């Protein structure tokens, strides 16, 4: 059975959002529960994917620590959880999510995963991936290899 990569990416995004907006809610036990739930519902997850999920968990722990400290002056986050992730860790938090999206696109290609890779690639690398190429063109290029 293949992993539902889009669901996995959504779970990670929800984790990040919760950790940066409600850091007090996240104890070590809460992280362990999230991990158990995620690995329990992600059928077919392999070593490469598991490694990236663990990297996301470590990033979430660092984000919790960063946003838990009271009285520290931080740049304004304009109320956007993604900005809070960027302020807390920058692109290092987003790299494992890009890797998961890329693995998913390679193993279970879909237009939605193509769009996820495109969006996350831009965040991590500050450049456009497959500029001017749509999903159908990408698929035909992959088939001709």
Mean pLDDT, rounded, for 45-59: 94
Percent of the chain with pLDDT over 70: 96
Residue of 142 and 18 predicted with greater confidence: 18
Mean pLDDT of the chain: 91
65-85 pLDDT, tens digit per residue, is 999 987 666 777 777 899 999
Radius of gyration of the chain (CA): 16
Task: Tell me the two tokens of residue 8.
Answer: 């996995």
pLDDT at 71: 66
What one-character-per-residue DSSP string does 16-59 give?
A: HHHHHH-GGG--HHHHHHHHHHHHHHSTT--HHHHHHHHHHHHH
pLDDT at 60: 98
Domain boundaries defined on the chain: 5-143
Q: Given a cut of 70, is residue 42 above it in pLDDT?
A: no
pLDDT at 107: 92
């Amino acid at each position: 059975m293949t992993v539902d990569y889009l669901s996995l990416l959504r779970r990670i995004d929800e984790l990040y959002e919760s950790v940066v907006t409600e850091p007090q809610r996240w104890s070590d036990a809460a992280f362990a529960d999230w991990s158990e739930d995620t690995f329990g519902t992600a059928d077919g997850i392999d070593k490469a994917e598991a490694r990236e999920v663990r990297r996301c968990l470590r990033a979430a722990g660092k984000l919790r620590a960063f946003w838990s400290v009271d009285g520290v002056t931080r740049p304004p986050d304009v109320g956007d959880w993604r900005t809070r992730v960027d302020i807390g860790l920058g692109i290092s938090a987003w790299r494992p999510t890009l890797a998961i999206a890329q693995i998913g696109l390679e193993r279970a290609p879909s237009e939605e995963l193509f769009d996820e890779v495109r969006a996350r690639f831009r965040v991590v690398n500050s450049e456009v991936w497959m500029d001017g190429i749509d999903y159908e063109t990408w698929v035909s290029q992959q088939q001709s290899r």
